[in-house]
Amino acid sequence: MSTRLKQLEALAENDPDDPFIQYAIALEHVSNGRLEEAAETLEHLIIKAPNYSAGYHQAGRVYEQLDRLDDARRCYEKGVVVAEREGDDKDRDEMQGALMMLD
């Protein structure tokens, strides 16, 4: 386990509901090539923070890398709705583009 991941997990113990910390943990898993762990972390993030559009976006990307395209599509579709509602135009546009690439 990387030092950075240990630090992030320690932060998560103090504030388990902070979506950014969970997102950062998932990104660390991605950077270490641990895509299944990243996907699991992101799924928990989506459940705990359903209005955090970046979680859906990253989950879609991870699922694409895992060749789980139905899961990627699910995350992008839900993420577009969330990003639109939250006013996150950049994330919305990027997820719409990703959806077009899947079709």
Residue pLDDT, tens place only, 32-85: 999 999 999 999 999 999 999 999 999 999 999 999 999 999 999 999 999 999
Output the pTM of the full model.
Answer: 0.92
Q: Tell me the average pLDDT across 6-35.
A: 92
DSSP state string for 30-84: HHTT-HHHHHHHHHHHHHH-TT-HHHHHHHHHHHHHTT-HHHHHHHHHHHHHHHH
Its CATH architecture, for the domain 3-102, is Alpha Horseshoe (1.25)
The DSSP secondary-structure symbol of 88 reads -
